[in-house]
Copies of this chain bind each other. A is one copy, B any other.
C-alpha cells in the first residue's frame, strides 16, 4: 500500500493566520519524504485528531459527516476550529488524484509544534487495503476497555468519543485479539456494556430491529448510514445500552467503519455466530454508493 498523494494545509484552522501568508491553501507533496517535525505535539503527545474517508472511483463518501465530526473532535480537544472549506478542498483534491478503484483519504489535525501556537494539518490518500476477507466474516473477542460506560459524561477530559491520534491502546488491543486467534475486538466497559470496535461501530440485529450501543462512543458516520439503509428495508433502528449477554444473543453482529464498510462477525469469543451473507451484501452495496 504505497501512499499516493499528500496535501499539507497552509491554514488548517479558522482563527489562525496562514503559515505562509498569500500561499495556496494547501501544497501537494511527495508523501514518502519527511514533512513532520519531531517536535510536533501530534507525535510527542498523540495530541491531535483524524478522520478516515472512503473513496470509490474518485468519489468521496460522507464528506459533510466527516467534516462535522472533525470539528466536533477539535472542540473536545480545545483545538482551534478547523477551516472546513480548506479541509474539504484538500480532501476532494487528494481523492480526485487517488488511484482508480477503492482508496482511502485520511485527514489529520495536530496541535502543532509545541510553543508555536499553530496547528498542523494534512490530508493523505492511499490505496485501500483489500477488505474482502473481513466482509466475509470476522473472528472477534470481547476485551475490557477499562472505563465505565458513562465516563464520557462524567470525565470529558478522558476524550472518549473524540477521534484522537492517541491510539496506542487500540493497537495493543488488536495485538491481544490476534494472540487470542481473532481478527478484531469489541470493547466492553468496566460495568459490562458493549462499547465499540477498535476502529469501528458495533451493530446488532435482534429480529426486526437494528441496534447500536449507546455509551458515549464515537459518533459513527457509517453506523448512521447503516441505520438509514435498515429503515429503508423495513427494519426498526435503535441506540440503547447493550450488555454482553445481549450481544451473545443477537441474530447478527457487524463491525462497521468508513473504509472496511460492514464486516459481519462470524465468531464471537470462540463461538460461531450466524452470518447473513445476503443482508451483508445488500448493506455493503448501499455503503459503496
Chain A contact residues, CB within 8 Å of chain B? 1, 3, 6, 31-48, 50, 77-78, 106, 108, 110-111, 115, 122, 124, 143-148, 151, 154-160, 162, 164-173, 175-176, 190
Q: Give chain B nearest CB distance to A113 CB in angstroms.
A: 9
Provide the residues of chain B in CB contact with A143, threshold 8 Å.
155, 157
Which of the residues B43, B44, B162 comes within 8 Å of A40, measured between beta carbons?
Answer: B43
Number of copies: 2
Q: Give chain B nearest CB distance to A127 CB in angstroms.
A: 12
Which of the residues B34, B46, B157 comes within 8 Å of A36, measured between beta carbons?
Answer: B34
Q: Give chain B nearest CB distance to A116 CB in angstroms.
A: 11
Let me know if B44 and A165 touch, CB within 8 A: yes
Provide the residues of chain B in CB contact with A158, threshold 8 Å.
144-146, 169, 172
Closest 5 CB pairs of A and B: A46-B46, A166-B166, A166-B168, A36-B36, A45-B167
Which of the residues B108, B115, B157 comes within 8 Å of A38, measured between beta carbons?
Answer: B108
Q: Give chain B nearest CB distance to A161 CB in angstroms.
A: 12
19 contacts between A and B (CB under 8 A): A31-B38, A34-B35, A36-B43, A43-B108, A44-B167, A45-B165, A45-B168, A46-B165, A46-B166, A46-B168, A47-B167, A78-B175, A111-B171, A143-B157, A144-B154, A147-B190, A148-B190, A165-B168, A166-B169
Let me know if A37 and B34 touch, CB within 8 A: yes
Let me know if A45 and B148 touch, CB within 8 A: no
Q: Give chain B nearest CB distance to A94 CB in angstroms.
A: 12
Provide the residues of chain B in CB contact with A146, threshold 8 Å.
146-148, 151, 155, 158, 160
